């Protein structure tokens, strides 16, 4: 138990003293998660809406594929992204390997199926009479779209929260694509894994507390939005 107490004491010391190495990992994590979430929501919400709202050939197969990708291992995504953006890959000229944007690409692939699948489920569970009611009130396509999205806003928030939780806690993509480079691409999760292996529990606990704090803040924000 002694090493746990020492670890927590060291963790609080690192946080309150604004340790540069600790806050570098926090900054990298926040930056790359914002990139990936913005991209996944911009692509995933419209795709999920179309998948749940419209009927078209192959819809069932696409839905099955999307649901299957929910369980896609992060190390496999990291491997695929690494193969594409490495110097020998087709996108190697873009210089994304061992960069935060490169990690964001992988995390976007991780979050996208979650946003699409949960958004499609929300649209499918929407009141079937809503569309008829809106059309009878003279709503055009634009108003029909935005009114439908407003109706499922809480479900979209839940989808975003679920995707954000998966992105924030993943290790495989950040490790393989980012390379865990100190002061550059080292994120909270990769730093925890590294420092714990080195026996430096203090920094690992400090970063773990920050990770829990971010998750708590996100949940509080979503709860406040729902109440409004």
C-alpha 183/C-alpha 79 separation (Å) is 23
Domains and CATH numbers, the chain: 30-188 (1.10.3720.10)
Q: Is the pLDDT of residue 7 over 80?
A: no
Query: Which pTM value belongs to this model?
Result: 0.87
C-alpha 145/C-alpha 64 separation (Å) is 24
Separate counts of helices (H) and strands (E) for the chain: 11, 0
Residue 196 structure tokens: 């714990």
What average pLDDT is seen over the chain?
Answer: 83
Query: For residue 153, what pLDDT is reported?
Result: 84
Query: For residue 227, what pLDDT is reported?
Result: 67
Q: Is the pLDDT of residue 177 over 90?
A: yes
R_g of the chain computed on alpha carbons: 21
Q: Are 182 and 190 in contact (CB under 8 A)?
A: no
**What is the rounded (10 degree) CA torsion for 109, 218, 7, 169?**
-10
Beta strands in the chain (DSSP E): none
Give 170's contacts (C-beta < 8 A, 6+ positions apart).
Answer: 74, 107, 110, 189
User: How do residues 84-111 score in pLDDT, each as one tens digit?
Assistant: 999 888 998 898 999 999 999 999 999 9
Q: Is the pLDDT of residue 3 over 70?
A: no
pLDDT over 90 percentage in the chain: 28
User: How do residues 33-57 score in pLDDT, each as one tens digit?
Assistant: 999 999 999 999 999 988 988 888 9
C-alpha 211/C-alpha 53 separation (Å) is 36
C-alpha 205/C-alpha 14 separation (Å) is 10
Give 70's contacts (C-beta < 8 A, 6+ positions apart).
Answer: 113, 114, 117
Residue 81 structure tokens: 């992204």
């Amino acid at each position: 138990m002694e090493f746990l107490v020492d670890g927590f004491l060291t963790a609080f010391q690192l946080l309150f003293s604004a340790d540069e190495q600790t806050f570098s990992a926090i900054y990298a994590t926040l930056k790359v998660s914002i990139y990936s979430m913005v991209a996944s929501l911009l692509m995933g919400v419209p795709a999920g809406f179309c998948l749940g709202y419209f009927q078209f050939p192959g819809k069932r197969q696409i839905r099955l594929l999307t649901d299957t990708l929910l369980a896609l291992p992060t190390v496999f995504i990291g491997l695929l992204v690494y193969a594409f953006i490495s110097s020998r890959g087709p996108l190697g000229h873009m210089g994304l390997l061992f960069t935060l944007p490169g990690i964001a690409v992988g995390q976007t692939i991780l979050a996208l199926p979650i946003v699409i699948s949960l958004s499609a489920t929300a649209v499918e569970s929407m009141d079937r009479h809503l569309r008829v009611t809106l059309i009878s009130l003279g709503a055009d396509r634009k108003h029909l779209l935005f009114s439908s999205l407003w109706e499922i806003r809480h479900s979209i928030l839940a989808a975003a929260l679920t995707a954000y939780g998966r992105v924030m806690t993943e290790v495989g993509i950040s490790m393989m694509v980012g390379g865990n480079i100190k002061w550059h691409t080292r994120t909270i999760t990769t730093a925890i894994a590294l420092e714990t292996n080195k026996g430096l529990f203090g920094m690992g606990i400090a970063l773990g507390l920050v990770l829990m704090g971010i998750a708590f803040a996100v949940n509080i924000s979503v709860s406040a939005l729902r109440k409004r």
